[in-house]
């Protein structure tokens, strides 16, 4: 296992550029594919790209806020102390890797932005605490828990299909969460991953101490604060627990009222919930703003790169390339195998468009129409698209940006291990989808 991981690490270290460069290369590749397979002219592809560059601006803000809110909540004193308790009794590299994977996985199942940040933060704590721990691997392990985000409480596709008025409701109706993220197939799959993925990651730890890269010690950051007696009126407002806690509780009150009024769990709901919890747990506005300043550094790469992927999505959509690809997979499918091909096609498309929701808007109608015509399981086919998306997120540089920003590592340090995780997850995901597709035909 170590030799295979080292092989991929060497390959990636030599040939993998920075994430922004990957987005640029994918843009060029998409243009070429559209020209060669769809007959799209270069100027036409350019217009698609430019016209669509800002199409996902609102969605970009939602994604940015959900990640920022997750970061802020993970950095609250209460959560930070909880992380200190978790790492307290962990003193060996393998135990550290298992813990980082579990925390990242459980956190991502609860909320993808929270888990994406929490897994990296606890991996960073473990890297600085445990002697002989390979820092790139523990950061990769913390990120690998992100593999369950799409079949958790914040999964884009299952939440959308459970939302009244979604754009496919007239075709397939509402699909309750009991048939998607709470189905026996998905629950079993998640339990298997939470047990086996930490052990798999632990097996990747280098046996040769010379190959281990340890984390640098945590820097001592000066704390600039003004004595309470010397504060101006404005500074007293900034440090007021009444304002901080009061605003946070006001937001949480709305959350309760929203649920009592029958509101559903949406991205905006999750964002407001996490921001309100963050404001409350930081107590004062000044502490909240300090965490916010650090969080902006973490999400900065997403802010600038998402428009590039929106442009790619516009080329894929405008040229008909993504529909042609999805239709090709449909053409070779049966009722039993449609979820399998949905999984593979979604995993491939996700490399070009790292957005489960944005990808579903284009690919979803094709797959749902095919599921009805073939008599395939609609929940299995829909979740196969979501699972394919989360599968190749393991090697999609875009979602690794927060882990890189927090850890201080480069993409080349993590990608070799993420390729190994990708192979392992592929086995578990494919087995689940295959069984679900065969037993759930017509469901």
Residue 38 CB neighbours (<10 A): 17
**Average pLDDT score, the chain:** 89
- The closest of 124, 126, 129, 123 to 141, measured between CA atoms, is 123
Interatomic CA distance for residues 258 and 57, integer angstroms? 26
pLDDT computed for residue 36 by the predictor = 95
Q: How far does Cα 214 stand from its chain's mean position?
A: 26
Span of 98-102, 143-147, 301-305 with lowest mean pLDDT? 301-305
Interatomic CA distance for residues 418 and 395, integer angstroms? 6
Q: What is the mean pLDDT of residues 357-379?
A: 88
Decide if pLDDT at 227 tops 90: no
Q: What is the mean pLDDT of residues 310-319?
A: 90
Decide if pLDDT at 176 tops 90: yes
Q: What is the mean pLDDT of residues 154-167?
A: 87
Span of 106-115, 128-137, 413-422 with lowest mean pLDDT? 106-115
Q: What is the mean pLDDT of residues 69-90?
A: 88
User: Rg of the chain's alpha carbons, rounded to an integer?
Assistant: 22
Most confident segment among 208-212, 401-405, 425-429: 425-429
Q: What is the mean pLDDT of residues 12-27?
A: 85
pLDDT computed for residue 48 by the predictor = 96
Residue 255 CB neighbours (<10 A): 16
Interatomic CA distance for residues 197 and 70, integer angstroms? 23
Of 407 and 63, the structure prediction assigns the larger pLDDT to 407
Decide if pLDDT at 296 tops 90: no
C-alpha distances out from residue 424 to 165, 397, 438, Å = 37, 18, 22
pLDDT computed for residue 225 by the predictor = 54
**CA atoms within 13 A of residue 79's CA, in its CB half-sphere:** 23
Q: What is the mean pLDDT of residues 203-224?
A: 79
Alpha helices in 265-410 (DSSP H): 267-282, 285-318, 321-331, 338-350, 356-374, 378-392, 397-407
Decide if pLDDT at 90 tops 70: yes
Report residue 441's pLDDT band, with 50, 70 and 90 as the boundaries.
Answer: low
Interatomic CA distance for residues 251 and 236, integer angstroms? 22
Alpha helices in 56-168 (DSSP H): 57-74, 77-88, 93-110, 112-129, 135-144, 156-161
- The closest of 270, 60, 275 to 154, measured between CA atoms, is 270
Decide if pLDDT at 223 tops 60: no
Query: What three-state secondary structure class fits 39?
Result: coil
Q: What is the mean pLDDT of residues 274-291?
A: 92
Torsion of the alpha carbons at 371, 375, 378 and 381, rounded to the nearest 10: -60
Of 167 and 109, the structure prediction assigns the larger pLDDT to 109
pTM of the model: 0.84
Of 326 and 318, the structure prediction assigns the larger pLDDT to 318
pLDDT computed for residue 222 by the predictor = 46
Summarize pLDDT for 236-249 with one digit per residue, the tens: 899 999 999 999 99
Summarize pLDDT for 405-415 with one digit per residue, the tens: 888 898 889 99
Contact 243, 235 (CB under 8 A): no
pLDDT computed for residue 221 by the predictor = 42
Decide if pLDDT at 93 tops 90: yes
Decide if pLDDT at 21 tops 80: yes
Q: What is the mean pLDDT of residues 270-285?
A: 91
Decide if pLDDT at 107 tops 50: yes
């Amino acid at each position: 296992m170590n030799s295979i991981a080292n092989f991929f690490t060497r390959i990636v270290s030599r040939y993998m550029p920075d994430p922004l460069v990957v987005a640029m290369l994918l843009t060029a590749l998409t243009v070429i594919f559209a020209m060669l397979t769809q007959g799209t002219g270069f100027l036409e592809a350019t217009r698609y790209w430019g016209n669509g560059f800002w199409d996902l601006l609102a969605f970009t803000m939602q994604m940015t806020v959900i990640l920022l809110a997750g970061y802020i909540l993970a950095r609250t004193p209460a959560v930070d102390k909880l992380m200190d308790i978790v790492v307290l009794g962990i003193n060996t590299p393998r135990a550290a890797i298992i813990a980082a994977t579990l925390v990242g996985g459980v956190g991502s199942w609860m909320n993808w932005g929270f888990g994406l940040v929490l897994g990296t933060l606890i991996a960073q704590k473990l890297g600085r605490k445990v002697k002989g721990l390979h820092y790139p691997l523990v950061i990769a392990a913390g990120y690998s828990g992100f593999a369950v985000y799409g079949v958790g409480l914040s999964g884009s596709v299952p939440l959308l299909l459970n939302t009244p008025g979604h754009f496919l409701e007239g075709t397939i109706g509402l699909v309750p969460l009991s048939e998607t993220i709470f189905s026996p197939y998905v629950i079993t799959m998640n339990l298997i991953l939470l047990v086996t993925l930490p052990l798999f990651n632990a097996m990747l730890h280098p046996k040769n101490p010379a190959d281990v890269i340890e984390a640098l010690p945590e820097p001592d950051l000066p704390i600039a604060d003004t004595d309470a007696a010397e504060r101006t009126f404005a500074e007293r407002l900034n440090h007021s627990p009444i304002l901080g806690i009061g605003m946070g509780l006001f937001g949480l009150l709305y959350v309760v009222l929203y649920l009592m009024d029958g509101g559903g769990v949406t991205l905006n709901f999750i964002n407001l919930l996490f921001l309100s919890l963050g404001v409350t747990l930081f107590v004062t506005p000044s502490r909240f703003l300090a965490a916010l300043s650090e969080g902006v550094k973490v999400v900065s790469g997403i802010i600038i790169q998402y428009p590039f992927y929106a442009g790619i999505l516009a080329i894929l959509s405008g040229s008909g390339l993504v529909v042609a690809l999805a239709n090709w997979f449909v053409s070779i499918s049966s009722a039993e195998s449609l979820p399998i091909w949905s999984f593979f096609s979604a995993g491939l498309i996700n490399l070009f468009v790292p957005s489960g929701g944005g990808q579903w808007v284009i690919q979803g109608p094709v797959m749902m129409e095919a599921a009805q015509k073939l008599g395939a399981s609609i929940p299995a086919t829909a979740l196969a698209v979501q699972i394919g998306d989360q599968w190749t997120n393991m090697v999609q540089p875009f979602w690794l940006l927060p882990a890189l920003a927090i850890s201080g590592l480069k993409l080349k340090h993590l990608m070799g291990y993420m390729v190994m995780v990708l192979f392992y997850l592929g086995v578990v995901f494919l087995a689940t989808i295959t069984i679900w597709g065969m037993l759930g035909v017509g469901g």
